[in-house]
Amino acid sequence: MNDLTHIDQQNNPTMVDVSAKKITKRTATATSTVIFPEEVKSYFQGNELVTKKGPVYHTAIIAGVMAAKKTHELIPFCHPIAIENCKINIITNQQGNAEITCTVSLHHKTGVEMEALTGASIAALTIYDMCKALSHDIEITATKLIKKTGGKSDINL
């Protein structure tokens, strides 16, 4: 038996068949961190990073939610799903870097891990895009799934 879910018996790529699965509430949370050089940190106004392009964190939140909803258009074997909730939170940590958390939930036969990871990733990329005129030394790190509930198993990292 093949352990890779997106490879069929003939070793061809395939979408996972979820037709026999039960509908359950499923959630996933992913994080990503954006590390800023000092020249970018000087553009903070309180907890908001503001550049000539506008409020960076607010724009990144919108972009991340939009991306989570379009994950199936970006990742070949992701199922198109009707996300019921997507929340993105961005804080500035004690080191002055952005910590992004994206939580996605729905009632469905398939999970939302990829949607949460995509939301966090695109939020981070949006921050980079909006700040790259200030410095190209911005670093995106530690994009990872930290929690998943529903389906066969729960994960809490």
Q: What is the pLDDT along the chain (157 residues), one digit of tens a residue?
A: 457 777 888 888 888 888 888 999 999 999 999 999 999 998 887 778 888 888 999 999 999 999 999 999 999 999 999 999 999 999 999 999 999 999 999 999 999 999 999 999 999 999 999 999 999 999 999 999 999 999 888 888 8
Contact 57, 49 (CB under 8 A): yes
**Rounded to whole angstroms, how far apart are CA atoms 36 and 18?**
41
Residue 17 catalytic? no
Structure tokens at 36: 């800023």
The domain limits of the chain are 24-151
What pLDDT score was predicted for residue 2?
52
For residue 12, what is the DSSP state?
-
pTM assigned to the model = 0.91
pLDDT at 1: 44
d(CA 151, CA 153): 6
- Residue 63: partners with Cβ closer than 8 Å, 6 or more residues away: 122, 123, 125, 126
Q: Parallel, antiparallel, or unpaired: how do β-strands 24-35 and 139-149 relate? A: antiparallel
Going by the DSSP 8-state scheme, the letter that residue 73 receives in this structure is H
Q: How far apart are CA 37 and CA 53, in angstroms?
A: 18
- The CATH class, in words, for 24-151 is alpha beta
Check 3, 8, 17, 129 and give the catalytic one.
129
Burial class (CB in 10 A: 0-12, 13-18, 19+), 54: exposed
DSSP letters spanning 101-123: EEEEEEEESS--HHHHHHHHHHH
